[in-house]
Chain A
Amino acid sequence: MTISSSMLLLILGCMLVTFIPRVLPFIFVRKIQMSSIVLKWLSFIPICILTALVVEGILTDSDQLISFDWQAVIVLIPTILVALFTKSLSLTVLIGVTLMAGVRLLSGT
């Protein structure tokens, strides 16, 4: 139940490289007036990054070869439908997870 010194170093290092990109914009944006074109660019970031994270979640990348995680792709469609119809974040997550567990149970993986 202890932390080794190398683990401590690892945690500190990872903390720093996580902290810096998160905090930097909050520091310098206070000083700079951003142009309208940059703000417009930023307005696209939420939909882009959320889409990218979803795609990252359904791709399995092992070095140079990429392929689709077919179980995730199959569950993706009903999950989108649930989000569209229930308009609820909690329900989408709950049903998505249940469907995923179901698909994995059926396929025996």
Chain B
Amino acid sequence: MNAQKPFLKEISSTNSFLQGAKDCAPTLFGYMSIGIAFGIVGTASGLSIIEIAALSIFVYAGSAQFIICALLVAGATLPVIITTTFIVNLRHFLLSLTLAPYFTKESFLRNIGFGALLTDESFGVASTRAARDGRLYAKWMDGLNLTAYLCWAAACTAGAILGQWISNPHAFGLDYALIAMFIALLVLQLEQSQSARLKLNMFVVLLVVVSMIVFSFFVSGHIAVLLSTCFAATIGVVLSNDD
């Protein structure tokens, strides 16, 4: 019933690899801004260009990469950095859990591939598509994931090279790209809600905002993300009585 909603003019209804790559396009600006910013921050943290490229290629986790740099500068030990990275990326468990049911018919190896390349942004695009169509296609997902991955690795490396000249990416507002992207994806998701569910969804969003603020007094931001998400989703289930 929501298939013709205008919002998804950027996300079409065909399912090829190429279409997945195209649907990734709106998020590329975000990947590029944050990636370049990361390269610059990495250089400023004393990492070599190869180390920055290796981090982006093998770890591939935006916020975790920034935190790794910050901890390196602070002189943190290896176990501390790895544990922190684990906590920061735990939310991906929820993201994967949400998307995995759409790909149960695909092979084991392909599923590992979908999981390995999952990010907040690709999750945002894919879950929005899933909310509209009720299903996801493997080839489309590959196109989305690989485009994002290559763009991220290239942007981080380019940023590392640029880092020799630019010292303050903050002034350009580039770090805000990620938040703006999450806002747009959230609005997208809410627009996809069926009218009966919209009120409840709005309430759940409000619940997340309040619980984020409360939890942030007691735990780190990344743990607060996990706790308030689980909490609000549970209340959402309790309150929903549509089916």
Contacts and interface: CB of A to CB of B under 8 A. Distances in A.
B171 A101 contact: yes
A100 B179 CA distance: 11
B232 A44 contact: yes
Interface residues of B, number: 101
Nearest to A48: B229
Q: What is the interface residue range for chain A against chain B? A: 35 or more
Interface string A2-16: 110011011111110
Contact of A22 (B104, B116, B172): B116
A54 B183 contact: yes
Contacts of A98: 173
Interface centre among A37, A55, A90 (most CB of B within 10 A): A55
A10 B82 contact: yes
A57 B179 contact: yes
Contacts of A3: 48, 50-51, 54
Interface in A33-89: 34, 37, 39-42, 44-59, 61, 64, 66, 72, 75-76, 79-80, 83-84, 87-89
B25 interface: yes
A83 to B, nearest CB: 4
B176 A21 contact: no
B225 A89 contact: no
B86 A17 contact: yes
A97 B172 CA distance: 8
A23 B116 contact: yes
B146 interface: no
Contacts of B177: 93, 96-97
Contact of B221 (A25, A61, A76): A61
Interface centre among B30, B82, B190 (most CB of A within 10 A): B82
A40 to B, nearest CB: 5
6 contacts: A12-B58, A15-B59, A22-B96, A24-B96, A66-B217, A90-B29
Given A13-B82, A34-B101, 12 more contacts: A22-B92, A24-B96, A29-B97, A30-B100, A46-B128, A47-B205, A55-B213, A59-B213, A72-B176, A87-B6, A92-B181, A96-B177
